[in-house]
Amino acid sequence: MRIGTDYYPEHWDEERWKTDLEMMHKCGIKVVRIGEFDWSLYEPEEGFYQFEWMDHILEVLQKYDMKVVLGTPSATPPKWMCDKYGDELYQKDKRGRVRPFGTRKHYCFNSDIYRNKVRDLVTRIAERYGRHPTIEGWQIDNELGWANTTRCYCENCQAKFQSYLRDKYKTIDQLNRTYGSVFWSETFNDFSQVIVPYEGACYAADPEGTQGQNPSLVLDFDRFSSDSVISFMNEQIDIIRRYSDYPVTTNMLDAGVNSGTGIDYFKLSKTLDFTAWDNYINFQWGIAEDAGVSRDHALVRSYKHKPFWVMEQQAAAIGWSKLGSVPEPGQLRLWTYSSFANGADTVMFFRWRSCLFGTEEYWNGILSHDGKTNRRFQEIGQTGVEIERLNQKLGKLMPVVKVAIMKSFDCEWSHKVHPHVEGFQYDQLLLDYYRAFYNLGIPVEFVSPDDDLSCYKLVIAPALIMVSDSQKTNLEQYIKNGGCLVLSFRSGIKTMENTMLPLTPPGIFEDMTGIKVDDYDPQYRKHTAVAGVFGSGVSSLWCDIITPQTAKTLGVYTEQYYSGKSCLTENAYGKGTVYYLGCDLNEEAMKRFAQYLCHRNGIRMLIGAQDGVEIVPVTDGVQQAVFVLNHNSHTIIVPVDGTCMELIKGEETSGQIELKPYDVAILQRKSSNSCNWTDMCD
């Protein structure tokens, strides 16, 4: 476990660097990220390169024994380049409007000119610093896809999209058949006629801009756009690896407040050495719930199923033009330990010191604008001291996980094209399931439909609207070998090309679920009562009206014309079991359903869960422990089974522990003869 910070020495006079680095050491900071926005310093004029300033910065950092993650500056093409090549460099939005110079991320991922410029500069940077002793890693670009920049609608993208489709479908007739282009007379005669899905005549009432265009075309464009970003990133990774053995990453965005990026992170992560993300909890654009932050940690960990970094973690009250609430005393420490509990091995606070100028002058850092010590500095420093002690007792930690939730980016993009009913959001549905287990203190991993599922006792696949043949086989083998799968409404009803299957729902999953969905009732501005093994509850999104074939009923609707019809079923399939939940559930009912699933699959807890308390069992491969984190603004009492050591304070505790507001405990069984914390997953 380590803490670091994002540092911008180029924003300050050199006389200040010594003070900063001495203060960082007092704070327990071991690593800084630098350089990710500095193109205009590396190349102030076309073809004129200067590296002496970075040479000197690295020399000073090395003198103070500070490790470095060096960013590639492709997020911010300089003004001279935009002026000269703007027509071929700038992005265009779905209305055909240019996204011009100013802010950042205004480049097109498919601009040949820009990619050539990026390759040239990254080659020079990697060649010069690839083996520098103070560098320990690389970050590609910054927040790829941020601010809806994954999808570009310029002429470059249209031409390359047409080529992408030609490679995929071979003939225009095959594309037309697949898309059903006969609908609305949208038949293409040649690939050169295929459009990118601009905002069309039917978009006026649709703020998301997905209404009206052919859903197969839109999904193909989403896949193409994601692949374009990944290709852009991989070109830089390939260059760096020619000159450097240091690990490479990029900083991802969350699935909540930032609503994702339109990039398939499972696919993007394949070429990374480790994953990283930016964790902002309370700021101008929203407030993330505790379960949502935990979910995002789990997602980033799951993309490679290994420890990750938080490359930017909130350090203060932040925002561009308006600020979110200031973290209360103890919350910075709490958020840091929550990151470690969920599998982070390094947490970088953004930023070291609040900038005096520019767009992010309100985006406060560990230090305020005055550069003096403050409450935040002291709290992070305390955390750093504690981490040093803990590192003598524990190795790299990962949560102990036996429950998985399936996430498919193909499904996510399909649901965004046609979101079924007002209020439906795929990632929100995944969070509803995640929250239920989070509130029980049971860690969850995320998996793709292609992942090996054999190590999980329980796999939940909400709204799995499409799967490939191989993915379906993967699910079938998991269940037949004794696994437990939960499917939900809007599953198995589409092809991978985003067209409807001529089957009764749940479509391709009818055999394994043992049901038919005779009809469904979208809960458009209404709700329906349900009851079953989850107690009583309410559906407010969707109600599948189910007729069991071989399945047995575990829940029913208790009102509407379909009162008494099944809403939850269980079906034996091979050696395993498939549950089908045909409706959404309110939070308490979902939690009770999760409890039922855990009981049925031998997944148990050793600490009593309660509201606002995050409980995460972890292991370093040899030892086990449990993080208990109080996200409440009041003191709580948590029951403890047996005698434990609390590792942060080094004190023995028995029967219960008291946690003050935003406090943290790490518990470890005192006796090796006692049952392990990981029994909850055995």
- The residues annotated with a catalytic role in the active site are 143, 312
Cis peptide bond upstream of 177, omega within 30: no
Alpha helices in 342-447 (DSSP H): 375-391, 409-417, 426-438
Q: Consult the annotation and say whether 157 binds a ligand.
A: yes
Is 367 strand, coil or helix? strand
Contact 571, 553 (CB under 8 A): no
The pair of three-digit structure tokens given for residue 180, joined into one six-digit string:
């059903």
142 is in an annotated binding site: yes
Q: Is 35 helix (H, G, I), strand (E, B) or coil?
A: coil
DSSP state letters, 316-359: SS--SSS--PPPPTTHHHHHHHHHHHTTEEEEEEE-SB--SSST
355 vs 8, 10, 66, 318, CA distance in Å?
A: 9, 11, 21, 12
Is 455 annotated to bind ligand?
no
Which sign does the torsion angle of CA 157, 163, 168, 170 carry? positive
Q: What is the DSSP letter of 1?
A: -
Contact (Cβ atoms closer than 8 angstroms) between residue 517 and residue 504: yes
Residues with Cβ within 8 Å of residue 379, at least 6 apart in sequence: 329, 330, 332, 333
Per-residue DSSP letter, 90: B
Q: E-strand spans in 76-152?
A: 91-92, 98-99, 135-139
Choose among 32, 2, 665, 27: nearest CA to 378. Answer: 27
Q: Residue 376, annotated ligand binder?
A: no
C-alpha 262/C-alpha 671 separation (Å) is 48
Instruction: Report the distance separating Cα 597 and Cα 244, nearest Å.
Output: 48
Q: Which residues contact 58 (CB under 8 A, 6 or more apart)?
A: 68, 129, 132, 134, 135
Flag whether 258 is marked binding: no
Q: Residue 509: is it exposed, middle or buried by C-beta count within 10 angstroms (0-12/13-18/19+)?
A: buried
As to burial, measured by CB atoms within 10 angstroms (0-12 exposed, 13-18 middle, 19+ buried), residue 48 is exposed
Q: Tell whether omega for the bond before 506 is within 30 degrees of 0, i.e. cis.
A: yes
**Residues making up the binding site for Zn(2+):** 108, 152, 154, 157
**Residues making up the binding site:** 104, 108, 142, 152, 154, 157, 320
